[in-house]
A and B are shown apart, each in its own frame.
Chain A
């Protein structure tokens, strides 16, 4: 009986190995990966059709705030430059707005703090599957972009960050991400410098991180230093619009 069960188990595992081998090969075939990219476009279009540019992510109450908000990805950029910023209280941290804008900006943390803010208690959804609820405060990105006056040909906002992701010297050294301009202009897209009423902690992206509440976590970069408006991102780093995208994750992060 045990033998028979063992045989059945092996037969099943064997069949699945054959099937999985085929699927694994397909996962590396350019035509198949290309077809999956078309599905991503379809998902993006369908979700944009239902959600439009303005629908708000659900907001929660203070009672829903997670006692321990999990930090993921970079927990400390760890570079000497960043350590210098930490010890000086981010006095010299700048967030610049560059690229296809009429008025390039370079904002200090004080500049950001002087702007009107939005405070929102929202759910952070990691691509891995978990969720945490936290309260975020910061100026709406739409206000900052409006001040910079995007040119008509600007389609994407590319965010450059201070956390190194690969070995030093590698040209694609630091974390970066991108959003289409409509998502960057969404009312809940903010440059958050406070979390749960306190200055943003280092593991959560101090001094300032992006919150784009209709997107997964990897679309909301931490340690933001520069926002570059571009027409397309195919010539930037791996060409896929973000650090994780260059590693195979979908650029569309609304699902």
Chain B
């Protein structure tokens, strides 16, 4: 007796595509518990905080769209300035970004952008700032609230990372990592990512990127933020010496923010290219699928 089935066979998805999408491979594979609960929670709280801090920070910046170096503002010599030009009728015609005295036309994005349909003079555009309209009082309150959450989250993560040896075991680059670095850079440039057993550990580039963000950018952005507070300057004047003054601290704070933004972009691209769903699932449920047989 023969049974005929009308059901179509499962669609054949090439292995390369399956891997890129992060689907389970058709061959042997097993799930591996990659991220502990606390790390996952800290990751998503961080993601929320950084998004809100960046956007509310841009709104705060819009209250004075220039950066300086030193103790105070040398208004004639900004490092960076976002400005706009007006015509005789008072309408905004052009947005200009000036970096070290060199002007660039950035109409539509920086200096002047559309707000309610009309070109308006403002540093960063309303779609990038939180709240949307220029609203310094409210943006500051969002910024400080989520700065607290970020710092508390970071403290919990640091204590956990040291206590559980997560930092020492998973993040600290080894001698081997450094030796493999050149090859890894080439592999990453070719979008060739570690698979199988190798994917159980962070590779050297990942370790360096995470260490840079966690141990350098993070503390730097918190400390430069505190340096902008006149009361904190009275409690810890050494902050001003470290960063070369309040306006330098403000500039470093801004650069760190864009450092975080750059990390975010690279991070998202890497997550997508190296197996979107597998990566995303592992940061939600903890489980990451590895190709090959489970080592005994």
Which residues of A come within 8 Å of B, CB atoms? Answer: 12-13, 16-17, 19-21, 23-24, 27, 35-36, 39-40, 42-43, 47, 50-52, 55-58, 60, 64, 66, 68, 70, 123, 125-133, 213-216, 244, 247-250, 254-255
Contacts and interface: CB of A to CB of B under 8 A. Distances in A.
Contacts of B127: 12-13, 16-17, 20
B148 A47 contact: no
Given A51-B235, A249-B140, 8 more contacts: A27-B142, A35-B145, A36-B142, A47-B231, A47-B232, A125-B228, A129-B228, A213-B230
Contacts of B68: 130
Interface string B123-148: 00011111111011110111011001
B250 interface: yes
Nearest to B140: A250
B296 interface: no
The 9 closest A-B pairs by CB, nearest first: A254-B231, A129-B64, A255-B229, A248-B137, A51-B235, A128-B64, A130-B73, A128-B63, A55-B234
A23 B64 contact: no
A174 to B, nearest CB: 20
Which of the listed residues B128, B140, B148 has the most CB atoms from chain A within 10 Å of its own CB? B140
A129 B228 CA distance: 8
Contact of B132 (A12, A20, A35, A130): A20
A202 to B, nearest CB: 20
Given A70-B75, A247-B137, A47 B229 contact: yes
Interface residues of B, number: 44
B184 interface: no
Interface string B40-62: 00000000000010010000110
A213 B60 CA distance: 22
A255 B130 contact: no
B235 A27 contact: no
B225 to A, nearest CB: 9
A254 B126 CA distance: 28
Contacts of B126: 20
A131 B246 contact: yes
Contacts of A132: 72-73
A131 B230 CA distance: 11
A50 B235 CA distance: 6
A126 B234 contact: no
B144 A58 contact: no
Most buried by A among B126, B229, B231: B231
A247 B137 CA distance: 8
A214 B71 contact: no
Nearest to A49: B235
B221 interface: no
Contacts of A247: 137
A126 B250 CA distance: 13
A123 B136 contact: no
Contact of B141 (A13, A40, A215): A40
Contacts of B135: 27
Contacts of A20: 55, 126-127, 129-132
B64 A214 contact: no
Interface in B224-242: 228-237, 240
